[in-house]
Amino acid sequence: PPPAGASPGSGALNPFDRRLKRKQKNWAALQAEPAKCDYLREEVRGRGSWRGHLECCGQTFPLALDVGSGRGYIAQHLTKETVEKLIQVDVAENALKNAIESEIPTVRVVADEEFLPFKEDTFDLVVSSLSLHWVNDLPKAFREIHQVLKPDGVFIGAMFGGDTLYELRCSLQLAELEREGGFSPHVSPFTAVADLGHLLSRAGFNTLTVDTDEIQVNYPGLFEVMEDLQGKYSMGESNCSWNRKPLLHRETMLAAAAIYQEMYGNSDGSVPATFQIYYMIGWKYHESQAKPAQRGSATVSFGDLAKIEGLVKKGKK
């Protein structure tokens, strides 16, 4: 459960209702044909190249942790050659019960991503895909992930970024301003990429890599976008912010759909929904890791780089 004080009055510190998010994910996991909305997670998994990153590490991880595993979107693409045993953690027990089977020996644990129930220096690898954007205290979540990693362990993650669903957000805001004279947030807040590297560094990770990408999905219209997000086909991405507006008037929704189509519509009549994805890799410090050279120890000046082109031309002659 969330810490004491996680209520509408404490929204500044805890923007999300974690109990509601658990209910949303549990409900979504029980819907018929849950794989229908796995396309987004599959695309992130493919672009994130989890398997490629792990194989590039050139080692086998005896024990790995999947934070916010859902139905096991990452596990099905791992092999015994890279991971010997996997612990899957998710706040929704129904998602774990309906998890996709993997060739890797797996243990499933119901737990909140914000409060990992594991000892320090336990895991050789921690992965997380499209779960951490619902965490109230992201710095604390990164610190906990860092804590449960062994020295020289690696964290590989992906999460939604700040420009996610900007088309939907803008359309709803303009429609509410026009019809109701003000607007409320209907899309949850996201982390900015400029903050992500700093948060990981403060948590103790080093040798950081942070990258960003965009995935665009086309829908028939605004109503289909919202229906998909609400979890009808198992995404479970409904807004759970404390300050969310519980009801949108019909006239406002129709106006938003028209604005969406007018501002962002494709030539074939469909509308795009953009998902910005942050990919991150960070290592826990170990004395065997490569260290930067001491300041002032360089033997070549950056000014000498300008001479390289001339030396290459001479060599060709």
In a domain, 302, yes or no: no
Domain count for the chain, please give it: 1
In a domain, 25, yes or no: yes
Question: According to the model, what pLDDT value does residue 7 have?
Answer: 40
pLDDT at 105 over 50: yes
Pairing verdict, β 271-284 and 149-160: antiparallel
- What residues are paired with 157 via a beta bridge? 128, 280
Show the domain range for 145.
18-165+189-217+273-287
Question: According to the model, what pLDDT value does residue 24 have?
Answer: 74
In a domain, 240, yes or no: no
In a domain, 176, yes or no: no
In a domain, 175, yes or no: no
In a domain, 12, yes or no: no
Crossing angle for the helix pair 222-229 and 166-180, nearest 10 degrees? 110
Question: According to the model, what pLDDT value does residue 219 have?
Answer: 93
**CATH value at residue 103:** 3.40.50.150
Q: Is the pTM of this model over 0.85?
A: no
197-236 tens-digit pLDDT: 899 999 999 989 888 889 999 999 999 888 877 654 345 5
Residues contacting residue 245 through CB under 8 Å, at least 6 positions apart: 184, 185, 186
Structure tokens at 17: 């209702």
pLDDT band at 188 (very low <50, low <70, confident <90, very high): low
In a domain, 121, yes or no: yes
In a domain, 313, yes or no: no
75-101 tens-digit pLDDT: 887 888 889 999 999 888 888 888 888
229-272 tens-digit pLDDT: 765 434 555 555 544 555 677 888 899 999 999 999 999 999 99
